Amino acid sequence: MATKSPNWQKLREQLKSSWQKIISPKGKSILFVCLANICRSPLAEALLREKIKQAHFSQSIKVDSASIENWRNGDKADSRVIQLLKEHQIPYQGLKSRLLKPMDAKRFDLIICMDTTIYDATRERLGESYFSKIVPFSHFLEDQADVDDPMLTKDFQTTYQQIDRGTDKIIHYLQNNIMNQSANDSKMQ
């Protein structure tokens, strides 16, 4: 049974506080999900990993990606994605498609879906008890609901820019909350 697509503006408001609770400063895992896990989600995974590395977080934050379809399971990221990552000097080794698994709902603190269809399918597959962990990537983009699928648009650069902006917002949130948590921990000692 398909779930109804959300009203994105209303969802952003509802998730504003809930996603902040999900990625607590001690929360350590983020999963990106797209259709085949060869373009958008591995691009988001690689970008966020690099930004986490550059931010020098004291806590370890795990980042991974998965697909909702099994078409390309085990395949490397699309060659055009790898080329973009090379151009921006972002490590791309180890990006390999895998299918979203039920245990991912327990393993990850936050599951970020790249578009409406993926959001609906992920919620359906993982179940209602995990809805609070599943958010659309659009939550991190002010200007649109979905991250463009470059397999359809053939515009990998625009997709890169969208994901780059969204991962900047994720890093900004993590930096602010990890610093706040560190300050609170110091006061308690």
CATH assignment of the domain containing 44: 3.40.50.2300
pTM of the model: 0.84
8 A C-beta contact, residue 76 and residue 100: no
- The number of domains in the chain is 1
Rounded mean pLDDT, 9-26 = 55
Asked if 40 is an active-site residue, the reply is yes
Asked if 72 is an active-site residue, the reply is no
On whether residue 54 sits in a domain, the answer given is: yes
Asked if 34 is an active-site residue, the reply is yes
On whether residue 166 sits in a domain, the answer given is: no
On whether residue 112 sits in a domain, the answer given is: yes
On whether residue 123 sits in a domain, the answer given is: yes
Range(s) of the domain holding residue 122: 27-156
Which residues have CB under 8 Å from 115's CB, separation 6+? 34, 136, 137, 145, 146, 147, 149
127 to 119, 121, 122: CA distances (angstroms) = 12, 10, 8
Distance CA 148, CA 162 (A): 8
Q: What is the pLDDT of residues 101-128, one digit of tens each?
A: 999 999 998 999 999 999 999 999 999 9
Of 12, 34, 104, 109, the catalytic one is 34
On whether residue 163 sits in a domain, the answer given is: no
Of 40, 72, 80, 123, the catalytic one is 40
- Could you identify the residue written with the tokens 């980042």? 63
